[in-house]
Amino acid sequence: MRQLSRAPPSAIYAERIGNQTTYLGATDADEEGVFRWVEDNSVVSDSYTNWVPEKPDGGEAENCMVMLGDAATWEDVSCVPEAETPMNFVCSKPNGTNCLMS
């Protein structure tokens, strides 16, 4: 998953994902209220953040961080998307390699 250490290049995200809500790869499932990147378990608030004001606020029912396509801000949502609205995701990879999913 894509770990953000700075503001995302908005033009690239806008081109690739448009206006769709996208899973960024951070969760507070292990410790409520402390979002960590799945890539290396580092705490999100130790780097760049862009939460919607008053977010995250979903408690134990919302443990996955998403970026809202229209504003590139973040919210906490359920990690189990509804079947009719599958979740998009962003990942990064070195040139010449495949993007691994787990």
Q: Please give the residue ranges that form the binding site for Ca ion (CB under 5 A).
A: 28, 63
C-beta of 62: minimal distance to Ca ion in Å?
5
For 74, the 3-state DSSP assignment is strand
Give the residue among 82, 89, 83 at the shortest CA–CA distance from 39.
Answer: 89
Nearer to Ca ion, 64 or 90 (CB): 64
C-beta of 75: minimal distance to Ca ion in Å?
11
C-beta of 98: minimal distance to Ca ion in Å?
31
